Amino acid sequence: MAPSAVETPVSQAATGSILEKPWSRPAPTKEKLDWAPLTTIDLSRFDEPGGKQQLAKDLYDAVTRVGFWTVINSGIDDERVLRQFSIGNTFFKEPLEEKRRFPCNFAEGEYFGYRENSRWIGDTGVKDNIEMLNIPKAIPAYENVPKNRIIKQHYDEIASFHRELYDKVLRKLFVLIAIILELPENYLVDAHAYDRESDDHLRYMIYNVRTQDEWDRAQGYTKGGHTDFGSLTLLFSQHVAGLQIRTPEGEWKWVQPVEGGITCNAADTLTFLTKGFIKSTIHRVVTPPKDQINIPRLGLLYFSRPGAHTPMKTVPSPLLDRLGLLTDEDKDETREVPTGTEYVRARVKDVHHKTVLTKREGTSFDFKGLKVANYYD
Ligand SMILES: O=C(O)CCC(=O)C(=O)O
Ligand SMILES: [Fe+2]
């Protein structure tokens, strides 16, 4: 045996084998912000008699008009959530060459891997401050997607969290939305099945600290109003304010994190699948309040997408039919449509395969008739 292997304990820092000190949520802002009123969905009631039906009623306005809501009592232990934040935090402190080993392949619209904060914001001279690492579902199809060392070391925990999150939150939300649409309960669960291929990912994300001047220049160019690409987005609570939604009344309001809760929003593919009935809400992340501007804004999110087995055609919902939203074309079984994965990859490529992020005012993205605006004020 090589002596060095026995005599010199390999330093923990060199192997990255320990997590940075456990991450905890920073203190909430003391500023009085104009918070958006959001519906709360208490998932502990899901399995009670009549619970799903009641929750579906509670969710109706949120998914059809507001687009955002908060889930509480998901049953996921908050210690496990905080561990995921800690793993993400540790990853972002890794040397750049380690983080860069597996970049997102934007040329193909693939979003797994690392996105670096390297792109310019228009002509402002300021760069994007977001870094992220997107981790695919823990299923055999993605076994060979390469993993950074921190991810490898904690993979069992990450994989079980990934699946738990799907089972305890996403699956239930898809059931509730199916009930609203009067579809068989598992219709949307099947369209977003965990065990089938799709570009779903768990995301560690960080908004690195910027000076007020950098924020002003970047936000003066664009505040980045957007809709999300997939079906549902989950955002675990952290306390650095920044997220705003555009309300049905057209006002920008802040989203208040609920300690231990999950902010959820519906996104574009769910809007397509329901002919616009489910609302993909416009949102953005703006300069944090003064008492939080120096805190890195660490995020833990999950993005659910329809997969390669899901045709992007309107779901056969009796409710949509009664509302007159289903045309003969929608009912035509033989019509060729893109799959969820084809659509999502085309969209990721269009938005992200570039070195300068521009606002593209007044333009839209259209993939085989699936059309969304590129820019919102
Ligand atoms: O960080 C947030 O609060 C939201 C991020 C977001 O909108 C996105 O990544 O699409
Ligand atoms: Fe978003």
How far is C-alpha 143 from the geometric centre of its chain's CA atoms?
21
C-alpha to C-alpha distance for 20 and 85, rounded to whole angstroms:
10
Angle (deg, nearest 10), helices 78-92 and 155-165: 130
Residue 91 has a CB neighbour count (10 Å cut-off) of 24
**19 Cα: distance to centroid of ligand 1 (angstroms):** 24
Q: With 60 as the cut, is the pLDDT of residue 34 above it?
A: yes
pLDDT score recorded for residue 14: 45
Tell me which ligand sits closest to the C-alpha of residue 115: 1
pLDDT score recorded for residue 15: 47
Please indicate whether residue 283, judged by its CB atom, sits closer than 6 Å to ligand 1: yes
Please indicate whether residue 135, judged by its CB atom, sits closer than 6 Å to ligand 1: no
| pLDDT tens by residue, 302-328 | 999 999 999 999 999 999 999 999 999
Q: What are phi and psi of 355, to 5 degrees?
A: -105, -15
Tell me which ligand sits closest to the C-alpha of residue 301: 1
Q: What are the residue ranges spanned by the domains of the chain?
A: 39-373
Please indicate whether residue 261, judged by its CB atom, sits closer than 6 Å to ligand 1: no
Please indicate whether residue 224, judged by its CB atom, sits closer than 6 Å to ligand 1: no
Q: What are phi and psi of 347, to 5 degrees?
A: -70, -45
| Ion ligand 2: protein residues whose beta carbon lies under 5 Å | 228
pLDDT score recorded for residue 275: 96
Please indicate whether residue 338, judged by its CB atom, sits closer than 6 Å to ligand 1: no
Give the pLDDT mean for 353-371: 93
Q: Which residue has a Cα nearest atom 10 of ligand 1?
A: 228
pLDDT score recorded for residue 19: 75
Q: Which residue has a Cα nearest atom 7 of ligand 1?
A: 284
Q: With 60 as the cut, is the pLDDT of residue 7 above it?
A: no
Q: With 90 as the cut, is the pLDDT of residue 92 above it?
A: yes
Q: Would you state the structure tokens that stand for residue 372, as one six-digit string?
A: 């969304």
How far is C-alpha 149 from the geometric centre of its chain's CA atoms?
23
Q: With 80 as the cut, is the pLDDT of residue 244 above it?
A: yes
**96 Cα: distance to centroid of ligand 2 (angstroms):** 25
Q: Where are the alpha helices (DSSP H) in the chain?
A: 3-7, 12-15, 51-61, 78-92, 96-99, 149-153, 155-165, 171-180, 187-191, 212-221, 268-273, 318-322, 328-331, 340-352
Between 212 and 10, name the one with better pLDDT. 212
Q: What atom in ligand 1 is closest to the CA of residue 263?
A: 3
Q: Where are the beta strands (DSSP E) in the chain?
A: 40-42, 68-72, 113-115, 120-121, 130-135, 201-207, 232-236, 243-246, 252-254, 262-266, 283-285, 297-304, 356-357, 364-367, 370-373
Give the pLDDT mean for 73-83: 97
CB hemisphere CA count around 28 (13 angstroms):
10
C-alpha to C-alpha distance for 27 and 376, rounded to whole angstroms:
31
C-alpha to C-alpha distance for 13 and 149, rounded to whole angstroms:
12
Q: What atom in ligand 1 is closest to the CA of residue 284?
A: 7
Q: Would you state the structure tokens that stand for residue 198, as one six-digit string?
A: 């799709």
Q: What atom in ligand 1 is closest to the CA of residue 228?
A: 10
Q: Which residue has a Cα nearest atom 3 of ligand 1?
A: 243
pLDDT score recorded for residue 259: 87
pLDDT score recorded for residue 113: 98
β partners of residue 272: none
Q: How confident is the model at residue 17 (pLDDT cuts 50, 70, 90)?
A: low
**106 Cα: distance to centroid of ligand 2 (angstroms):** 18
Q: With 90 as the cut, is the pLDDT of residue 260 above it?
A: no
* Overall CATH class of domain 39-373: mainly beta
Q: With 80 as the cut, is the pLDDT of residue 21 above it?
A: no
C-alpha to C-alpha distance for 192 and 175, rounded to whole angstroms:
11
Label the pairing between strands 243-246 and 120-121: unpaired
Please indicate whether residue 255, judged by its CB atom, sits closer than 6 Å to ligand 1: no
Mean pLDDT of the chain: 94
| pLDDT tens by residue, 98-133 | 999 999 999 999 999 999 999 999 999 999 999 999
Q: With 80 as the cut, is the pLDDT of residue 10 above it?
A: no
Between 1 and 226, name the one with better pLDDT. 226
